[in-house]
């Protein structure tokens, strides 16, 4: 789909920016930064944990169980946020002196998402006094009730949006539950459990627990590498609080003060740990970790994050990377099949393509449908749900949305109007999961398109690239690229700077079969650029002497030589 470049408008900033680089002034103003405090990234700027609803009850529940040395079972989720959340909980509790801490993560193919009644039957074999859910639980009313019926206490820690009725857990910590006044509603699951563990550590310290047990008081910053990874991987908005968590985690990873599993995953991905940015976690580490949950069992990925032996961690990272390669192959096949299903669509017949797309194939892999939905959403810029068979009679779907359309609210509206269609659902504004009877696919597809069409405007379906404007020749430098790298962390809702401009096209060639390597000129300056996965029907274009690009600044390091390189998001012949 053709992309449109729109230059963002900057808001005026109400604080002194005279010492700030002029380009950063512009970028931060566009992102709505209104105070110097919003740019500070020290741990002292973190929001206090006491503002979380029921945090005191959570601490008491955990402390009582710990002091009795009763069994604690962490129930996680099968994505990177769930894996890091589980690792944070297990590592923290063990450092606090807990002797009986284990974890259980559902295999998505056998049990589905969260603390289901079926998973409770497995949890029962661990004989836990307390179940702690991480990155799940807020929608598992029946599972929580089943655990309570067996006499287990349940502490739910989650960040997903709750349904109309909360589970009857002993305690719930979720910044998105009703009446919670915690200022940041954007914590990932790993952020929520990190806050719970911060509060527990404070209580144990003040009560003299560590001194009594002759335990060195744990340094909670040691967990920030995991918090950063889970926060970036879950693509939650990087508000000020999340930017602090990610920045501090990146600092630890760059200084090699992280768990061996993260180092091993960075090594096998070929990323420079000392110069790590948030994007490396999102595009290199998270997919390899997620591959375990998509194709097999996330327990393996969690064990990699819990491993303290570097050699063993490298062996596990190699296996995770192989899984990710397999996932890529499966994904590409599924994406090709999805596009074939939409092959009747032509640019001159846009009205034939539903505003809300539902796709299903009996052979599709349940663990990869989320990625396929995301790829098709990116291509056609409208919400997509990809479905796979869960069993003979049930479909599981993974939904992805576009800005301005809250996908979980769409599913809630369908469920209210058609109670028989959706068996269960949950999620965020931009991503959600659901299950429905196989026989209901076509009826659901129509209902989905109807609701989406009601809320989604034609303007919202335009594939727009929001640019921070043009760079002058004096700004296309290594120094500026370094300033931008360090000015983040960049991510969801605080996007990495994207610029646009017209360049002379001096040279163009294909590398890696589908990427376009270019040499550009701006005035007297030449600069390298690369566009990944270009349309080979249009590029290289040797008749093109000038090119209009939307690009990010990057630093390319080769054999010790560091140079500016433009990472091209979009290119076209200027009109």
The model's pLDDT over 358-388, given as tens digits with 9 standing for 90+, comes to 999 999 999 999 999 999 999 899 999 999 9
Q: At what angle do helices 224-233 and 260-269 cross, to 10 degrees?
A: 50
Residue 4, beta-bridge partner list: 464
Statement to judge: residues 405 and 317 lie in one domain: no
40 within domain boundaries? no
Statement to judge: residues 204 and 90 lie in one domain: yes
Q: Is the pLDDT of residue 11 over 80?
A: no
What does the alpha-carbon distance between residue 336 and residue 171 come to, in Å, rounded to a whole number?
46
Statement to judge: residues 411 and 518 lie in one domain: no
Q: Which CATH number characterizes residue 221's domain? A: 3.90.1640.30
326 within domain boundaries? no
Last residue of some domain: 401, 433, 461?
461
Two tokens, residue 248: 């501090």
**Is the distance from CB of 139 to CB of 424 less than 8 angstroms?**
yes
Last residue of some domain: 435, 461, 487?
461
349 within domain boundaries? yes
Indicate the number of domains in the chain: 3
Q: Which residues are CB-contacts of 485 (< 8 A; sequence separation ≥ 6)?
A: 275, 277, 555
Statement to judge: residues 59 and 14 lie in one domain: no
Beta strand residue intervals within 401-483, DSSP E: 424-427, 431-437, 464-467
Last residue of some domain: 461, 495, 528?
461
What does the alpha-carbon distance between residue 446 and residue 418 come to, in Å, rounded to a whole number?
12
Residue 2, pLDDT score? 62
Q: Is the pLDDT of residue 30 over 70?
A: yes
Statement to judge: residues 117 and 251 lie in one domain: yes
Statement to judge: residues 486 and 455 lie in one domain: no
Two tokens, residue 516: 């376009």
Q: Is the pLDDT of residue 453 over 70?
A: yes
37 within domain boundaries? no
Terminal C-alpha separation, the chain? 18
What does the alpha-carbon distance between residue 291 and residue 321 come to, in Å, rounded to a whole number?
8
Q: Which CATH number characterizes residue 552's domain? A: 2.40.50.460
What does the alpha-carbon distance between residue 239 and residue 514 come to, in Å, rounded to a whole number?
35
Q: Sign of dihedral through CA atoms 246, 248, 251, 257?
A: negative
327 within domain boundaries? no
Residue 50, pLDDT score? 96
Burial of 153 (0-12, 13-18, 19+ CB in 10 A): buried
Statement to judge: residues 244 and 317 lie in one domain: yes
512 within domain boundaries? yes
Statement to judge: residues 439 and 552 lie in one domain: no
- Sheet strand arrangement including 171-173: 101-104, 72-75, 130-134, 153-157, 171-173
- For 81-107, write each residue's pLDDT tens digit: 999 999 999 999 999 999 999 999 988
Statement to judge: residues 135 and 242 lie in one domain: yes
Statement to judge: residues 268 and 304 lie in one domain: yes
335 within domain boundaries? no
Which DSSP state fits 162? P
What does the alpha-carbon distance between residue 538 and residue 534 come to, in Å, rounded to a whole number?
8
Statement to judge: residues 198 and 147 lie in one domain: yes
Radius of gyration over alpha carbons of the chain, in Å?
24
Please, which pLDDT band fits residue 204 given cuts at 50, 70 and 90? very high
Q: Which residue has the higher pLDDT, 390 or 54?
A: 54
- Sheet strand arrangement including 394-400: 357-360, 384-391, 394-400, 431-437, 424-427
Report residue 254: phi and psi, to 5°: -60, -35
Q: What count of other Cβ atoms lies within 10 Å of the Cβ of residue 76?
A: 31
Q: At what angle do helices 240-254 and 260-269 cross, to 10 degrees?
A: 80
Q: What count of other Cβ atoms lies within 10 Å of the Cβ of residue 38?
A: 18
**Is the distance from CB of 157 to CB of 189 less than 8 angstroms?**
yes
- For 475-499, write each residue's pLDDT tens digit: 999 999 999 999 999 999 999 999 9
Q: State which H helix or E strand residue 122 sits in.
A: helix 117-124
User: Shortest CA distance to 173 belongs to which of 146, 153, 191, 155?
Assistant: 155
36 within domain boundaries? no
Show the domain range for 307.
Answer: 47-321
Q: Is the pLDDT of residue 401 over 90?
A: yes
Statement to judge: residues 182 and 307 lie in one domain: yes
């Amino acid at each position: 789909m053709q992309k449109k470049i729109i230059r963002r408008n900057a808001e005026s900033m109400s604080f002194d920016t005279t010492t700030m680089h002029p380009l950063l002034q512009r970028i931060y103003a566009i992102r709505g930064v209104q105070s110097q405090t919003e740019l500070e990234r020290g741990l002292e700027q973190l929001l206090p944990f006491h503002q979380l609803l029921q945090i005191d009850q959570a601490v008491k529940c955990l402390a009582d169980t710990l002091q009795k040395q009763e069994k604690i079972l962490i129930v996680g989720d099968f994505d990177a946020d769930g894996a890091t959340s589980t690792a944070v909980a297990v590592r923290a509790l063990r450092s606090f002196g807990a002797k009986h801490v284990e974890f259980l993560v559902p295999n998505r193919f056998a049990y589905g998402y969260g603390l289901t009644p079926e998973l409770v039957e497995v949890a029962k074999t661990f004989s836990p006094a307390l179940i702690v859910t991480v990155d799940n639980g807020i929608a598992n009313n029946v599972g929580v009730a089943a655990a309570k019926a067996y006499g287990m206490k349940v502490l739910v820690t989650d960040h997903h949006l709750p349904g109309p009725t909360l589970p009857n857990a002993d305690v719930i910590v979720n910044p998105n539950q009703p009446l919670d006044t915690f200022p940041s509603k954007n914590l990932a699951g790993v952020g929520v459990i990190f806050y719970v563990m911060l509060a527990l550590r404070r209580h144990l310290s003040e009560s003299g627990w560590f001194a009594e047990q002759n335990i060195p008081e744990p340094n909670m910053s040691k967990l920030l590498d995991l918090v950063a990874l889970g926060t970036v991987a879950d693509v939650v908005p990087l508000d000020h609080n999340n930017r602090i968590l990610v920045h501090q985690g990146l600092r630890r990873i760059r200084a090699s003060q992280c768990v061996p599993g993260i180092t091993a995953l960075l090594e096998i991905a070929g990323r420079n740990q000392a110069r790590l940015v948030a994007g490396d976690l999102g595009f290199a580490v998270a997919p390899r970790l997620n591959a375990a949950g998509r194709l097999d069992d996330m327990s393996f990925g969690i064990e990699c994050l819990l491993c303290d032996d570097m050699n063993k961690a490298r062996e596990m990272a190699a296996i995770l990377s192989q899984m990710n390669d397999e996932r890529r192959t499966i994904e590409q096949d599924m994406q090709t099949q999805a596009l074939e299903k939409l092959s009747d669509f032509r640019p001159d017949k846009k009205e034939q393509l539903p505003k809300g797309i539902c796709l299903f194939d009996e052979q599709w892999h349940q663990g990869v449908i989320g990625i396929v939905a995301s790829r098709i959403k990116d291509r056609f810029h409208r919400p997509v749900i990809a479905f796979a068979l869960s069993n003979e009679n049930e479909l599981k779907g993974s939904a992805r949305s576009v800005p301005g359309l809250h996908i979980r609210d769409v599913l809630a509206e369908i469920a209210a109007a058609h109670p028989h269609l959706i068996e269960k659902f949950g999620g965020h504004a931009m991503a959600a999961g659901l299950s429905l009877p196989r026989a209901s696919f076509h009826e659901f597809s129509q209902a989905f398109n109807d609701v989406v069409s009601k809320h989604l405007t034609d303007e919202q379906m335009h594939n727009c690239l929001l640019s921070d404007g043009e760079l002058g020749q004096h700004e296309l430098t290594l120094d500026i690229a370094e300033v931008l790298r360090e000015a983040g962390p960049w991510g969801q809702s605080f996007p990495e700077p994207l610029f646009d401009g017209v360049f002379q096209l001096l040279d163009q060639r294909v590398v890696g079969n589908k990427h376009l390597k270019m040499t550009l000129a701006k005035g007297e300056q030449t600069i390298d650029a690369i566009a990944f996965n270009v349309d080979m029907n249009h590029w290289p274009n040797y008749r093109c002497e000038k090119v209009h690009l939307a690009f990010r600044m990057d630093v390319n390091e080769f054999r010790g030589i560091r140079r500016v390189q433009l990472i091209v998001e979009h290119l076209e012949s200027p009109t």
